[in-house]
Amino acid sequence: MTTLPRSNGSPEDQALRREMLQRAVDLLEESESIRDAAAKLGVPYTSFANWVAFARAEGIVSSYISKGMNIPNGIKSDYDVLDLTGDRTVLVINDVHVPYHDEKGLEMAIQYAQERDVNTVFINGDFIDLVSVSDHEKTPSERSGLNDELETGRLVLKAIREEFSDAEIYYNEGNHETRMPRYLAKKAPELFEIPGLSVKQLLKLDMYGIKWIPTETDVRLGDLNIFHGHEYRGGGLLVARSKFLQAMDNILFANFHRTQEYIQPDIQGKVKGSWAVACMCDLRPRYMPKNNWNLGFAVVHSRSDGHFVIENKKIIDGKIY
């Protein structure tokens, strides 16, 4: 039958019409072209095109869509969520870049945090530089300095643990920490999964009671989201605003080595913000002596109901602001 029953015909005609339109859209799904589908159905090309248009207008879709196509499952990544919501006072330090750290800045941040009874320390990525396994050009001393980097890193972590003996300490993986697995995957893939070669193990975090957070983990402190900063591409001069426009939620991040804040209310007046925390490393490194960095850290006061207050501190000329 090549004549399509009217849509306002008898119930029998309407059922037949729907059956014919269903057959048309299914054939179109199976065929390489609309002309090929029309030939299979035995109707002129123009009539078949009209049938497909009628089917779409009447909400008839391919059986492959409605019943589900036989498509194999795709590979999807699963990410963990670390929820730190609760009554906490959190010291956030990041971009320490051991062994290029600023020891005076670290001491000031620790002392400030102790005066505020901090019960949680959050090391938000790039604690260790790992220059010796980076893709950048290196001097001879940098090529052979991995052991010294790690030993200095362990000593700094030991000092932090001693100053915060009862605190929970978290170490969030940054892009510099990922230099190690990237190096192994590229230079020595046979060693990639050998126990003992991860940054967590090389820095002996378990010895100091420090909890490792892989970079893919979503960290939430009540209504505040915390991440290192490399996870979102791009930056620019106004990094607090640019990251807010990517995340569209309350965020605290690092990676850009400068203190910034951006606050924006939504159409209903609910205020959300973005806080960029500065670094704890040498402000004039050999590879970039001219920059717009500053020393700094943050203390976050969070409550169990999700509310939080951020002290995004700067260290300028040996004073905390």
138 φ, ψ (degrees, to nearest 5): -130, 150
Residue-number span of the structural domain to which 57 is assigned: 12-67
Residue by residue, pLDDT tens for the chain (321 residues) are 568 888 888 888 888 888 888 888 888 888 888 888 888 888 888 888 888 888 888 888 888 765 666 677 788 888 899 999 999 999 999 999 999 999 999 999 999 999 999 999 999 999 999 998 988 876 766 666 899 999 999 999 999 999 999 999 999 999 999 999 999 999 988 888 888 999 999 999 999 999 999 998 999 999 999 999 999 988 888 999 999 999 999 999 999 999 999 999 989 999 999 999 999 999 999 888 999 999 999 999 999 999 999 999 999 999 999
Establish if 138 belongs to a structural domain.
yes
Together in a domain, 26 and 96? no
Together in a domain, 283 and 148? yes
Together in a domain, 101 and 235? yes
Rounded to two decimals, the pTM is: 0.78
Establish if 59 belongs to a structural domain.
yes
Together in a domain, 16 and 156? no
For residue 221 the two structure tokens come to 């402190």
Nearest to 3 by CA among 58, 64, 44: 44
DSSP run (H or E) holding 311? strand 308-316
Instruction: Go through the chain and tell me how many residues it has.
Output: 321
Together in a domain, 36 and 88? no
Total domains, the chain:
2
Establish if 1 belongs to a structural domain.
no
Together in a domain, 145 and 289? yes
CB 321 within 8 A of CB 138: no
CB 29 within 8 A of CB 62: yes
**Rounded CA gap, 130 and 195, in Å?**
19
Nearest to 171 by CA among 196, 135, 208, 146: 208
Kindly give, in sequence order, each residue whose CB lies less than 8 Å from that of residue 294, ignoring residues fewer than 6 positions away: 257, 258, 259, 278, 279, 283, 314, 315, 316
CATH number at residue 301: 3.60.21.10
